[in-house]
Structure 1
């Protein structure tokens, strides 16, 4: 099973990716984790990304695409994966299509978790309190949600048109949401 998990910040993508990973016995792959791994291990791709990060710049799509392709080509991903945090824009959708074609591994579904904006804001405020995350201020939360709405949410229409989109309510008990996703995938 090859899945994308999509949705705004605070909707529970990482939690559900881990649960789906265990259920389907496939790796949960977070682009954030891929970047951290490459940076920590000073891989050639990590060093290339570090040059941008050290200047306070976003890592360009071209490099992000290379890092994702490198991860999806690893042995543990041969039988499937849950990809969290990618694609984030239309050019990354095109790049992912190319990557999957080159690897001979078609996408099965894009799972979209949905929740009301106010619910997401409250969840992230709570997360900031619990985890002491300085990057979860009300202003930054609002900006992230706006970026998602403008750049990533429109991608759902692409996967819907392809017949690959599965939409699930991201509000409720974690286990119930997970069961709803699995049921929708069958």
Structure 2
């Protein structure tokens, strides 16, 4: 089963990826992880990528695609793979199509975990931190037991990281939305796209994904 999982930040992609990997026994290929591995192992492409990163530049498509292709040739992808974080552009999607055809490992499905942006802003901007001991909480998912008091140290002062502020979160989502929309169209035209309702409880999202994948068998 050769899969790609997509979704905006906070959509719960990571949780669903864990389920897919466990159920189908395929590796979770996250571009961040394979970049770090290639750089650590000092592979020729890893060294190239490091050069661009050190200069604060974006790693070009040919290097990124090369690192992904190397990863897809490893023995653990024999039964399939789950791509995450790649492709990010149409050029990369076209390259992926070519390389997977060449390797005889074309995509079977693209799962898009779709959550409405307002819900995502709530999910992502709900985090707050105790100023005294650094314990983290969430206004929806992990509240303090006593309102305004840290469970760990009893402190009463909290702050929010600039990354977690609603405006920053909205901007981040807009950037990702712009990036994802052409890819959704690209995979929709190829009849590979399966949009899953990510507004449901986690177990229901898992069940919906399970249904999509069972139907592919």
Q: Structure 2 CA distance, aligned partners of 1:154 and 1:106?
A: 20
Which structure's relative contact order is higher, taking Cα pairs within 8 Å and 6+ residues apart? 1
Match of 2:3 in 1: 3
Matched, 1:172 2:200: yes
Q: Which runs of 5+ in 2 are unaligned?
A: 130-135, 138-159
How much does 1:153 deviate?
1.9
User: Which structure has the larger Rg over C-alpha atoms?
Assistant: 2
How much does 1:166 deviate?
0.6
Match of 1:110 in 2: 110
Q: Structure 1 CA distance, aligned partners of 2:128 and 2:187?
A: 32
How many residue pairs end up in the alignment? Answer: 186
Match of 1:156 in 2: 184
How much does 1:100 deviate?
0.4
How much does 1:135 deviate?
4.8
TM-score relative to the length of structure 2: 0.78
Task: Label 1:174 to 1:128 Cα distance change in 2 as closer, same or farther (>3 A).
Answer: farther
TM-score relative to the length of structure 1: 0.90
Match of 1:98 in 2: 98
Q: Structure 2 CA distance, aligned partners of 1:20 and 1:54?
A: 34
Task: Label 1:165 to 1:44 Cα distance change in 2 as closer, same or farther (>3 A).
Answer: same
Q: Which runs of 5+ in 1 are unaligned?
A: none
CA RMSD of aligned residues (A): 2.1
Task: Label 1:21 to 1:53 Cα distance change in 2 as closer, same or farther (>3 A).
Answer: same
Q: 2:18 aligns to what SS in structure 1?
A: helix
Task: Label 1:126 to 1:76 Cα distance change in 2 as closer, same or farther (>3 A).
Answer: farther
